[in-house]
Structure 1
Amino acid sequence: MHTRFVLIHTSHAGNVGATARAMKTMGFTDLVLVAPRWANVLRREETIQRASGALDVLNNARIVETLDEALDGITHLCATAMIGRDFGPPTSTPREHLPALAANAESTGEKGVAFLFGSERFGMRNEDVYRCHVALTIPTDAKFGSLNLGAAVQVIAYEWRQALGGFGDATPVAARESQRADARQLNGMLEHWERALVDIGFLDPAAPKKLMPRLQQLFHRAQPTEEEIHILRGIAKAMMAPSPAKPAPADGESKL
């Protein structure tokens, strides 16, 4: 389902840039501004700075004069309002509403969803809220519920991305490539460490006590990767290497 973020009568250029950044981090690109305060808001320095690299979102954004123009091709409208409206749509949190919307989109024939955000000072007008299917409210501390526009967009964008299934395996490539060491590799490393500990005099083979079993349990809990096993064996090898001879003191230096 196509996703669009719509900012209505935005007055601060920085919030447009922050919105673009919030959208891009969650993989959304369709931004429409309805009658913003600044006609050149997409090119203003503050907007570009706050976008922090999300210039493709700004470059593709559209400015229109009316909300009707912003909703072309959209079938499901989500208002964002901290306070519900009498005679308005049902109020729901993003986490309550969005998963069902994503799951049922195919069966209900939804073609696109738009998230509507009002002006920074006044929020959304009643008439704009009334035309929406739901009013999304972000749960906040009852004593301080004021959210910056960019922050509100980030929360909604995150919840919608999660409802759509997220980004799949978000594990960094480096972490995915690090395979956990198997039992044979772990045992070989422990045997290497046992020899090294004997070599440096830390382990008495005549009275080993429970040192090696305890180390074994420690490494079981740590679940080292293959790369970490190589590092640990490298340490053991260095422990067993003969110490380099100390240089003879120069003339006049103390031999103590």
Structure 2
Amino acid sequence: MRTRFILIQTSHAGNVGAAARAMKTMGFDDLVLVAPRWANVLRREETIQRASGALDVLDNARIVETLDEALDGVTHLCATAMIPRDFGPPTRTPREHLEPLAGGEAQHVAFLFGSERFGMRNEDVYRCNVALSIPTDPKFGSLNLGAAIQVIAYEWRLALGGYGVRDAAPAPAAADARAVAGMLDHWERSLVDIGFLDPEAPKKLMPRLQQLFNRARPTPEEIHILRGIAKAMTEAAQGRPGAPKTPSAVREDPAA
């Protein structure tokens, strides 16, 4: 699917930069401006600042005088209109319309956005296959142009398959079974030392801990920490004033 974003008579340079940024975050780069207020809008400082690094989209953008020029090659045109028309194309939510469109035959899709001051003319809406209406709060549906472009770009990218979410860091490898078993042996000795586990009547405490750590899948670093805790428990038990070097065992909770 080829994708184009068309802005008609844009009056604020910052919105052109915001549009470029919104498009680039979703992987689109075909931007066409129809008769913008500023002839040098792609080079204005406010535009560049609001683009926040999406300069390649601005470099690739084109300025034309008429909508006919902007629509060259387009086979499916989507208006973005918040106000329903009595006559014209059907009104759909972006997700309702774009999911089936993405699954159909390849087309050259364009999204049409009107002027910040006047919105879209009826004549332009009538040329479209659909009018997309973002389902905002009925009591306050006002969206900045850049925000509206971001929503449409996101919904279209989602319909096309989206981008996978990447973890900030790769998932750490789990410790092997031998390391977990060694840690549990260490913990068993330390639990006896602090009087929590009765070695003569251990019941199911250690098997339950085994299952806990099997679910947790601790990493080698976490195994090291757990063994350090076990060592500290033993040292604390043996170093308590008046505590015996081998404390008498205290039975574990019967419910365990």
- Give the alignment's TM-score, normalised by structure 1: 0.80
Partners of 1:45 and 1:193 in 2: how far apart? 63
- 1:139 is aligned to 2:132: no
Q: What is the aligned partner in structure 1 of residue 169 from structure 2?
A: 174
> Which structure 1 segments of 5+ residues have no match?
244-256
Q: Is the 8 A contact 1:32 1:64 kept in 2?
A: yes
Structure 1: how far apart are the matches of 2:204 and 2:144? 58
Residues 1:40 and 2:40 are matched in the alignment: yes
Partners of 2:73 and 2:135 lie apart in 1 by: 30
Q: Is the counterpart of residue 127 in structure 1 residue 123 in structure 2?
A: yes
Q: Note if contact 2:77-2:130 (Cα within 8 Å) is conserved in structure 1.
A: yes
Identity %: 69
The answer as to whether partners of 1:94 and 1:156 remain within 8 angstroms in 2 is yes
Task: State the AA in 2 paired with 1:171.
Answer: R
Q: Which residue of 2 aligns with 1:81?
A: 81
Residue 192 (structure 1) aligned with residue 183 (structure 2): yes
C-alpha offsets along residues 70-129 of structure 1, whole Å, 9 cap, x if unaligned? 1111111000001221221011111111111111124xxx2x100001111221111110
**Separation in 2 of the partners of 1:160 and 1:117?**
15
Provide, for residues 4-55 of structure 1, a one-character-per-residue CA deviation record: whole Å limited to 9, x for no partner.
Answer: 0111111111111111111111100111111111111111121111111111
Partner letter of residue 180 of structure 2?
A: M
Q: Does the 8 Å CA contact 2:11/2:115 hold for their aligned counterparts?
A: yes
Alpha carbons of 1:139 and 1:147: their partners in 2 closer, same or farther (altered >3 Å)? Answer: same
Match of 2:209 in 1: 215
In the alignment, the residues of structure 1 paired with residue 52 and residue 188 of structure 2 have an alpha-carbon distance, to the nearest angstrom, of 52
CA distance in structure 2 between the aligned counterparts of 1:68 and 1:37, rounded to whole angstroms: 18
Partner secondary structure for residue 69 of structure 1: helix
SS at the partner of 2:105?
Answer: helix
Other structure's SS at 1:28 match: coil
Contact kept? 1:193, 1:233, Cα under 8 Å: no
How far apart in 1 are the matches of 2:187 and 2:211?
Answer: 18
Q: How many residues align?
A: 230
Provide the alpha-carbon RMSD of the alignment: 2.4
Deviation >2 Å, runs of 4+: 169-175, 185-188, 196-205, 207-222, 236-243
TM-score when normalising by structure 2: 0.80
Distance 1:40 1:232, change over 3 A: same
Q: 2:228 aligns with which of 228, 232, 238?
A: 238
Hey, what's the Cα distance between the residues in 2 that align with 1:199 and 1:99? 59
Q: Secondary structure at the match of 2:102?
A: helix
* Residues 7/186 of structure 1: CA separation in 2 closer, same or farther (3 Å cut): farther
Native 8 Å contact 2:172 2:219 kept in 1: no
Which whole-Å CA distance do the structure 2 matches of 1:63 and 1:129 have between them? Answer: 20
- Alpha-carbon separation, structure 1, partners of 2:117 and 2:209: 62
Larger Rg belongs to: 2
Which whole-Å CA distance do the structure 1 matches of 2:52 and 2:202 have between them? 59
CA contact (8 A) 1:92 1:134 kept: yes
- The answer for the alignment partner of 1:23 in structure 2 is 23
Q: Which amino acid aligns with 2:85?
A: R
SS at match of 1:105: coil
- Taking a change above 3 Å as real, the CA distance of residues 75 and 236 of structure 1, as seen in their structure-2 partners, is same
**Residue 188 of structure 1, CA deviation:** 3.8
Contact 2:24 2:54 in 1 (8 A): yes
